[in-house]
Amino acid sequence: ELYKSEAPDRALDAVDVNAPVLPLLNSMFKEVCRILCEDGDARGCMTVNCLAESSGSNPEIDGLLVSLTEASIDRFASLLRVAAKRGEIPRKTNFRKKALAVQTLLTGINLMSKVVRDEKELMSVVSQTLSGLGLSAANARSRPPTP
């Protein structure tokens, strides 16, 4: 619980259903990039690091890591459903697949931040990816709500 309460993606836990989702998602990624690049030791996310190093030799720990990651994917899928209801993304979105892509982005920038130490450069990767997924904050503003 302490880890989750301090994680940069914690802002996604208390979403106001009346507020746009995509700007929140984009700002969460901006905060993640800032935190990652300000970390002089380039440690990144503990869960991502443990998952990357998992050897399968400890089923209890591996199960916990999988559970944490699946919970994050589920949270992204739920947020995307809210975004669809608000007209920010198409209602016919495959929420699970798009949530997997968002989780992959989050995992990837955590690992890439060990190499790419410039916040603007790391954020440009995030922006390009979110835009390609139709999840940029700019995309949300230009799409009329769906009935």
DSSP one-letter string for the chain: -HHHHHSGGGGGGS--TTS-HHHHHHHHHHHHHHHHHH-TT----HHHHHHHH--SS-HHHHHHHHHHHHHHHHHHHHHHHHHHHTTSS-TT--HHHHHHHHHHHHHHHHHHTTT---HHHHHHHHHHHHHHTT--HHHHHHSPPP-
Domain contains 7: no
pLDDT above 70 coverage of the chain, percent: 90
pLDDT at 25: 96
Domain contains 46: yes
pLDDT at 145: 58
pLDDT tens-digit map of 84-140: 999 999 999 999 999 999 999 999 999 999 999 999 999 999 999 999 999 999 876
8 A C-beta contact, residue 18 and residue 104: no
Domain contains 11: no
Decide which of 44 and 126 is more confident.
Answer: 126
Structural domains counted in the chain:
1
Give 1's pLDDT tier (boundaries 50, 70, 90): low
Range of weakest confidence among 7-16, 19-28, 34-43, 111-120: 7-16
Structure tokens at 33: 């990039």
* pTM listed for this prediction: 0.89
- Encode 67-78: b = buried (16+ Cβ within 10 Å), e = exposed: ebbeebbebbbe
pLDDT at 15: 77
Domain contains 4: no
pLDDT at 56: 84
Q: Cβ of 8: how many Cβ atoms within 10 Å?
A: 17
Q: Is the pLDDT of residue 2 over 80?
A: no
Domain contains 8: no
Residue-averaged pLDDT of the chain: 89
Structure tokens at 132: 């390609």
Structure tokens at 51: 């998952």
Question: Domain range holding 104?
Answer: 19-142
Distance of CA 100 to the CA centre of its chain: 9
Contacts of 50 (CB under 8 A, 6+ apart): 61, 65
Q: Is the pLDDT of residue 144 over 60?
A: no
Domain contains 13: no
Domain contains 95: yes
Domain contains 3: no
pLDDT at 13: 81
Q: List the CATH number of the domain containing 133.
A: 1.10.357
Q: Which of 56, 44, 54 is closest to 111 using CA atoms?
A: 44
